[in-house]
Amino acid sequence: MARIVGIDLGTTNSLVAYMDKGTPRVIAGRHERAMVPSVVALTDNGLIVGDPAKEHLTRNPERTVYSVKRFMGKGLADVQDELAYFPYTLTEKGGVIRIKLGEKTYSPPQISAMILKELKLRAEAFLGESITKAVITVPAYFNDSQRQATKDAGMIAGLDVLRIINEPTAASLAYGLQQRTQGTIAVYDLGGGTFDISILKLKNGIFEVLATNGDTHLGGDDFDQLIADIFLADIRQQYGLDLKAYPDHMQGIRLEAERAKIRLSEELKTTATLDLPEGKGWFTRELTRDQLESLCNALVERTLGPCRLALKDAGLTPADIDEVVLVGGSTRMPLVRQRVQALFGTQPHCELNPDEVVALGAAVQADILSGGTTDMLLLDVTPLSLGIETMGGVMSSLIRRNTTIPASAKEMFTTYVDGQTGVDIHILQGERELAKDNRSLARFRLKVPPLPAGVPRIEVTFLIDANGILNVTAKDMRTGETQSIEVKPSYGLSDLEVERMIEDSFKFAADDVSARKLIEARLDAGALIATTEKSLADGGHLVNTEDIASIRGALSALTIAKDGNDPRTIRARMADLEQAAKGLTVAMLDDSLKRGLQGKKVSEIA
């Protein structure tokens, strides 16, 4: 079976990991950095992703998309409150947010697909093989539309998404693999834009999620914004300058706020520095950890409510929790650690890098799916109740939150009027009494044969699969015929749209010949480096030290070029290496010929 990689598609950073002989490892890019900033920028040379795109946040803010995860599976009305904070332009089409980049608009899954493609390329260059299958993580509290949008992103990126797995449970797999823990654990996952809490029972390799809760709109980004707001107020007061009119400086403030926050996890006070527009010079401000903590206290408090609810749903008290695991970069904040420790009464674990642990867990899950790891099994739950709208706009719950998935429920439908040929069904997700207060997932019309009222009997099966994604099928109980249902997602792309986006992405890929050339050059370079090193090891004694030195020199030149972005340079350095290694190649050929002749003689004698 082809290799399956694990991908953590994060709000601020994304990573790809693979399983290396029973150990999950993240794949680093240049400068040994495993994290790819989840940023896409439109430049004069086309779309770029990751670290180079991040540089455009301040240079080119209107054309640089970040935190796109916040828009997955959403409509414009859902994000109205925060629109002012984003320098790029958002619109809506067919219930799905679109992001304007230059002349074109892109759906959030398309932008996410660009990040996924970057990770795919990175994995392909590192592993030296084509990657087409992946496990992708999502916040546990993601609803059906958000999960579906993530799956769509994978498809658009040319990845077969074999499983969508929850981030906190992925982390627990990575920890479980490492420590072979037994008992009840709580995973507290505070990322860039989302918060999750999951309570699990670990026993003999089974990871059974008892309850999960969270807030898909709470994360490190929000802390940064609070800090940035203080800077803004100070600048307005001191310089009479409203930086909101300068999108590039707004991004600068946001990034400096993030850096100050990170520094304050290590230090007790720090100084933030920002250059001001209009030749106003530099703004500096001292920020202490105490100030930061009183600023962020309310946000951290907000994470504790979901923790208590999850405990309650699991039928547990804090004393029942044996271990607490911290996940996500924001859990580096001392305040977060203190609060979590106070709530659960136990020192939280953070042995594994909180930035990497989710990707590592995704790689473990990928290995389970490919049949490599067979002793571990994750039994996850659906985070939100699923139901349908009934008479009077009330939601009738079919599958309760925290039900182990796969989960299914059947409901029988009939008609109220003679000759009625359809029944409209509105699927919802959420915990509120009234349909209008819950998330609308989809609507569809059940086809019914024209018969007297009450005679038709159509059984509809709602099945939540192991990805937490809903599948609907219907069966006419009178004829036994099943009917295919075309579901119109409320906040998602239609199958047709996804197909078109996949085609588009192939077209872009074709336009992007240089990207393809780069991958191929990197792959070829990797192969050449490997064979040359093997030749050196096997036949190094056949050539003189000068030759060896020049081969080594060409090798390191190629290694550097391979990490670069220019396929022509890589090809040139490959040619150099081949030239430098010519003597060695010839010497080894001669040597093997000689041995071959010797061998022949021996056989002739025999």
Q: Is 89 or 479 the residue whose CB approaches other proteins more closely? A: 479
How does DSSP classify residue 421?
-
Nearest-approach distance from CB 407 to other proteins, in angstroms = 6
Alpha carbons 9 and 12: distance in angstroms, whole number: 9
Catalytic residue, from 54, 69, 120, 562: name it. Answer: 69
Site string for other proteins, 356-395 (x = CB under 8 A): ---------x--xxxx--x--xxx----------------
What amino acid is encoded at 356 in this protein? Answer: E
Per CB under 8 A, does 485 bind other proteins? no
Catalytic residue flag (residue 117): no
The label of the residue with tokens 């904040």 reads: 333
Q: Rounded to the nearest whole angstrom, what is the least distance from the CB of residue 141 to other proteins in the complex? A: 20
The CA distance from 442 to 460, in Å, is 14
Alpha carbons within 13 angstroms on the beta-carbon side of residue 506 total 8
- In the complex, what is the shortest distance from the CB of residue 139 to other proteins, in angstroms, rounded to a whole number? 21
Distance CA 357, CA 359 (A): 6
**396 bridge partner residues:** 388
Q: Which of 262, 276, 466, 542 binds other proteins (CB under 8 A)?
A: 466
Name which of 265 and 370 has its Cβ closer to other proteins.
Answer: 370
- Shortest Cβ distance from residue 509 to other proteins (Å)? 27
What is the nearest approach in angstroms of other proteins to the Cβ of residue 191? 25
The residue among 127 and 466 lying less far from other proteins, judged by its C-beta, is 466
Taking the mean position of all CA atoms in its chain, how far away is CA 293? Answer: 28
Q: How far is Cα 166 from Cα 135, in angstroms, rounded to an integer?
A: 10
CA separation, residue 348 to residues 2, 181, 392, 551, 592 (Å): 37, 14, 47, 50, 60
46-49 β-sheet, strand order = 46-49, 39-43, 64-66
Residue in 231, 224, 229, 222 with CA at minimum distance from that of residue 273: 231
Does residue 62 belong to the site contacting other proteins (CB under 8 A)?
Answer: no
CB of 597 to other proteins, least distance (A): 48
Minimum CB distance to other proteins smaller for 370 or for 414: 370
The structure tokens listed for 374 are 């067979």
Q: Which is nearer to other proteins, 253 or 369 (CB)?
A: 369
Q: Has 69 been annotated as catalytic? A: yes
Query: Which range of residues in 8-16, 69-77, 459-467, 592-600 is near other proteins by CB under 8 A?
Result: 459-467
Number of H helices, E strands in the chain: 15, 30
Instruction: Restricting to residues 235-294, name those near other proteins by CB under 8 A.
Output: none
- Checking DSSP bridges between strand 133-138 and strand 160-166, what pairing results, if any? parallel
Catalytic hit among 124, 144, 152, 167: 167
Sheet holding 422-429, edge to edge: 394-399, 386-390, 422-429, 439-447, 488-489
Q: What is the spatial distance between Cα 154 and Cα 156, in angstroms, rounded to a whole number? A: 5
Interaction of residue 577 with other proteins, rule CB under 8 A? no
Residue placing its CB nearer to other proteins in the complex, 131 or 274: 131
Q: Which residues contact 291 (CB under 8 A, 6 or more apart)?
A: none
Active-site residue, selected from the candidate residues 118, 152, 189, 323: 189
Would you call 93 a catalytic residue per the annotation?
no
| Interface pattern 202-231 for other proteins (x via CB under 8 A) | -xx-x-x-----------------------
Question: Where does this chain touch other proteins (CB under 8 A) — which range of 26-34, 462-470, 517-525, 566-574?
Answer: 462-470
Residue 379 or 557 having the CB closest to other proteins: 379
CB of 387 to other proteins, least distance (A): 16
Q: Which of residues 386-445 bind other proteins (CB under 8 A)?
A: 403-408
Nearer to other proteins, 130 or 404 (CB): 404
Q: Quick count: other Cβ atoms within 10 Å of Cβ 419?
A: 11
Say how far apart CA 535 and CA 526 lie, in whole Å.
14
Spell out the residues 6+ positions from residue 433 whose beta carbon is closer than 8 angstroms to its own.
394, 395
> From CA 26, how far away is CA 4, in angstroms rounded?
13
Cβ of residue 404: shortest distance to other proteins, in angstroms?
4
Check if 167 is active-site: yes
**Footprint of other proteins (CB under 8 A):** 1, 162-163, 203-204, 206, 208, 365, 368-371, 374, 377-379, 403-408, 463, 465-466
Catalytic positions: 8, 69, 167, 189
